[in-house]
């Protein structure tokens, strides 16, 4: 009996330590005192390990399964948090396809030495179990009375932890002069939807948060929905009522309809780098020059609106004008099955091609871009010799340059860069494309220096590509759109820093449009798609112009609220609305 209890307590301690280590860094431990926080973790862990008391003797080793899963999930969640500023939900179980060598390589900048302790503890317990406890545990029976008492104790502990959750939240509410009862607070925390994983963990604890997350798994298994006649009519009415009013520059844009379009989605491009100087050198002189050129429309204060799907969400927003699903990666959940209202389909008279800087396996990219309507998909596996000698972005532009002359005009080419992805390092970049003055600059944190080096490298490669377009005589007949897939907070340079990409503006820049405009009003990422359509003087495929509005309007027409836009996008995506005639 003693061995059974000791094994249980050891497992309990490891789970509590893993949860506490993750919670301390991610601020997902709620409560006024650490004693309260620790008590909640113990209560939740007791409920999680409750089945142990009822396992047959020879199967008690199964307790090791959650003891391994929790620390591994915690470390993965910590690295996710250091990049995105929130913890992954259960929807991340669908992201297994993203586990490739490129993603694993990016985790080096997110790893912390303390993470090793979290991972080692389960292995230590396994070793102790195999070397001494196994026979004692398997030989020790538990009476029915002992099982019932242990179960009741675990459940009572859990109920006590839930009371602590509610009481902690209630005290905070009273301190802020809200007149809410303990019952009101409990009902609110148990029924409120999950907007941020860290916040929900803080107010609910681990087990209730898990139970509240289960509907996400249900949604994953029932992702496709059928619409009523009223819902279909609502979408149709939205599309027909979202026609652009006359824009003063429309006559200037008429000739753009037959121009080529090159859309460059840049990994993690923060807008502040365009005007940034280091040691009297411009970090991005090409981008700065393009921004200041005649015929450029620029917006450098755009809010990032990606969600669980990260870069895949950024690609979706730019290509379709739809917001991503709030709790699932849209590209992974739906990218292989949905007919998207995309730029490709809007520009159906343009020959199209997309060129990736990676292998198009992350975020289900190959299938999703086929769903966008691209006829040709080129990945870095099609030009490995270039990537080996030039690095990611320069190889991408070199491949695009070799293809652009073969395309029938007008064409639509989309390029997706990679080099500015965490950890902002690419050992393949040749010396002649590296900025020595950045490497030697003093006073820059290492991560920021690495990021700026990749920005400068991308900028140099971009300049070479544009120079080639001019030599080919294609530049004047081509609109070039440069837009971030999302912004990137560099707080991961700190040991316990957390990313919050929504606080950093991302970049939109359209070159050779025929009009010159610097957009200063607040804009969201969802406004990129309708802006591109208007610059191309195009009505959109089947009238679809997205749930945002063109940035060309000083005062945009009325738009749906963020919640309405999100709901409308989710309904269109999950019903595959555009697959119907």
Q: Where are the alpha helices (DSSP H) in 222-329?
A: 229-241, 250-253, 285-291, 310-320
Is residue 457 within 8 Å of 391, Cβ to Cβ?
yes
Mean pLDDT, range 365-376, rounded to an integer: 93
**Which residues touch 145 (CB under 8 Å, ≥6 apart)?**
none
- The residue among 174 and 206 whose pLDDT is bigger is 206
Mean pLDDT, range 191-214, rounded to an integer: 82
pTM of the model: 0.79
Mean pLDDT, range 363-380, rounded to an integer: 92
Residue 279: the pLDDT is: 86
Is residue 504 within 8 Å of 295, Cβ to Cβ?
no
Sorting pLDDT into bands at 50, 70 and 90, what band is 252? low
Give the model confidence (pLDDT) of 161-177 as tens digits: 888 888 877 877 777 66
Query: Which of 487, 529, 485, 538 minimizes the C-alpha distance to 510?
Result: 529
Sorting pLDDT into bands at 50, 70 and 90, what band is 493? very low
Spell out a b/e string for 316-337, using b for 16 or more CB atoms within 10 Å of the CB, else e: bbbbbbbbbbbbbbbbbbbbee
Q: Which of 175-179, 403-407, 492-496, 546-550 has the lowest mean pLDDT?
A: 492-496
Residue 124: the pLDDT is: 93
- Identify the top-confidence range among 77-81, 232-236, 469-473, 557-561: 469-473
Query: Which of 357, 410, 412 minimizes the C-alpha distance to 379?
Result: 357
Residue 3: the pLDDT is: 83
- Identify the top-confidence range among 51-60, 160-169, 236-245, 495-504: 51-60
- What contacts 24+ positions apart, CB below 8 Å, involve 101-104? 102/358, 102/359, 102/362, 102/418, 102/421, 103/362
Residue 103: the pLDDT is: 57
Mean pLDDT, range 568-580, rounded to an integer: 93
Map tokens 């590209």 to a residue.
331
- The residue among 268 and 112 whose pLDDT is bigger is 268
Residue 496: the pLDDT is: 42
| 494 pLDDT above the threshold of 50 | no
Residue 249: the pLDDT is: 59
Cα dihedral sign, 115-118-122-125 = positive
Residue 245: the pLDDT is: 57
The Cβ-side half-sphere exposure at 554, using a 13 Å CA radius, reads 4
> How big is the CA angle at 32 (ends 29 and 33), to the nearest 5 degrees?
85
CA 398, CA 382: separation in Å to the nearest integer? 12
Is residue 524 within 8 Å of 306, Cβ to Cβ?
no
Residue 51: the pLDDT is: 92
**Which residues touch 141 (CB under 8 Å, ≥6 apart)?**
57
Give the model confidence (pLDDT) of 393-425 as tens digits: 999 999 999 999 999 999 999 999 999 987 788
**Which residues touch 267 (CB under 8 Å, ≥6 apart)?**
311, 357, 416, 417, 418, 419, 420, 421, 484, 485
- The residue among 182 and 286 whose pLDDT is bigger is 286
Kindly list the structural domains of the chain, giving each domain's residue range(s) and its CATH number in brackets, ordered by start: 2-221 (no CATH), 249-573 (3.40.720.10)
DSSP one-letter code for 488: -
Sorting pLDDT into bands at 50, 70 and 90, what band is 197? confident
DSSP string, 383-404: -HHHHHHH-HHHHHHHHHHHHH
Query: Which of 310, 303, 313, 304 minimizes the C-alpha distance to 334?
Result: 313
DSSP one-letter code for 424: -
Residue 482: the pLDDT is: 97
Give the model confidence (pLDDT) of 261-304 as tens digits: 999 999 999 999 999 999 889 999 999 999 999 999 999 999 99
The secondary element (H helix, E strand) that includes residue 523 is: strand 523-524
CA 449, CA 89: separation in Å to the nearest integer? 32
| 375 pLDDT above the threshold of 90 | yes
Which tokens in the block code for residue 471? 């030599």
Map tokens 């007949």 to a residue.
477
Q: Find the distance separating the first CA and the last CA of the chain, reported in whole Å.
A: 68
């Amino acid at each position: 009996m003693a061995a059974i209890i000791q094994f249980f307590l050891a497992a309990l301690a490891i789970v509590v330590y893993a949860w506490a280590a993750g919670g301390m860094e991610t601020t997902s431990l709620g409560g006024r005192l650490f004693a309260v926080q620790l008590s909640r973790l113990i209560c939740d862990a007791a409920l999680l390990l409750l089945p142990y008391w009822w396992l047959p003797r020879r199967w008690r080793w199964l307790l090791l399964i959650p003891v391994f899963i929790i620390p591994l999930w915690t470390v993965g969640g910590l690295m996710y948090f250091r990049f995105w500023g929130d913890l992954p939900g259960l929807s991340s179980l669908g992201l297994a396809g993203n586990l490739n060598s490129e993603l694993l390589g990016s985790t080096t900048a997110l790893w912390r030495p303390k993470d090793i302790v979290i991972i080692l503890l389960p292995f230590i317990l396994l070793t102790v179990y195999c070397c001494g406890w196994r026979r004692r545990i398997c030989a020790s029976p538990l009476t029915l009375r002992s099982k019932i008492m242990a179960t009741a104790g675990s459940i009572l502990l859990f109920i006590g932890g839930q009371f602590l959750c509610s009481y902690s939240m209630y005290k905070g509410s009273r301190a802020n002069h809200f007149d809410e009862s303990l019952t009101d607070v409990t009902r609110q925390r148990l029924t409120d939807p999950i907007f941020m994983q860290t916040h929900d963990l803080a107010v609910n604890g681990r087990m209730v948060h898990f139970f509240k997350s289960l509907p996400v798994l249900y949604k994953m298994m029932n992702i496709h929905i059928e619409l009523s006649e009223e819902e279909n009519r609502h979408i149709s009415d939205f599309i027909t009522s979202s026609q652009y009013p006359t824009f003063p520059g429309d006559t200037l844009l008429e000739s753009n309809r037959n121009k080529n379009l090159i859309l460059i989605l840049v990994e993690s491009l923060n807008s502040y780098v365009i005007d940034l100087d280091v040691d009297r050198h411009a970090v991005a002189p090409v981008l700065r020059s393009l921004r200041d050129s005649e015929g450029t429309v620029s917006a450098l204060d755009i809010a990032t609106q990606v969600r669980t799907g990260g870069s895949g969400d950024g690609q979706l927003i730019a290509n379709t004008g739809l917001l991503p699903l709030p709790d699932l990666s849209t590209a992974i959940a739906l990218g292989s099955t949905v007919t998207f209202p995309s730029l490709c389909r809007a520009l159906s008279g343009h020959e199209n091609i997309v060129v990736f800087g990676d292998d198009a396996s992350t975020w289900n990219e190959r299938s999703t871009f086929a769903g966008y309507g691209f006829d040709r998909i080129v990945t870095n596996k099609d030009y490995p010799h270039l990537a080996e000698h030039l690095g990611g972005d320069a190889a991408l532009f070199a491949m695009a340059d070799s293809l652009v002359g073969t395309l029938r005009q007008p064409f639509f080419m989309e390029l997706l860069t990679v080099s500015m992805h965490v950890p902002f390092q690419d050992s393949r970049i040749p010396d002649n494309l590296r900025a020595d003055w950045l490497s030697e600059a003093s006073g820059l944190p290492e991560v920021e220096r690495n990021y700026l080096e990749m920005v400068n490298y991308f900028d140099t490669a971009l300049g070479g590509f544009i120079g080639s377009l001019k030599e080919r005589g294609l530049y004047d007949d081509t609109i070039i759109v440069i837009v971030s897939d999302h912004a990137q907070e560099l707080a991961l340079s700190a040991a316990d820093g957390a990313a919050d990409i929504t606080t950093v503006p991302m970049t939109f820049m359209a070159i050779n449009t025929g009009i010159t405009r610097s957009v200063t009003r607040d804009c969201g990422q969802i406004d990129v798609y309708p802006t591109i359509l208007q610059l191309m003087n195009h009505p959109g495929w089947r009238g679809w112009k997205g749930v945002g509005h063109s940035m060309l309007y000083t005062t945009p027409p009325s738009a749906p609220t963020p919640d309405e836009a999100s709901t409308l996008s989710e309904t269109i995506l999950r019903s595959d609305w555009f697959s119907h005639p």
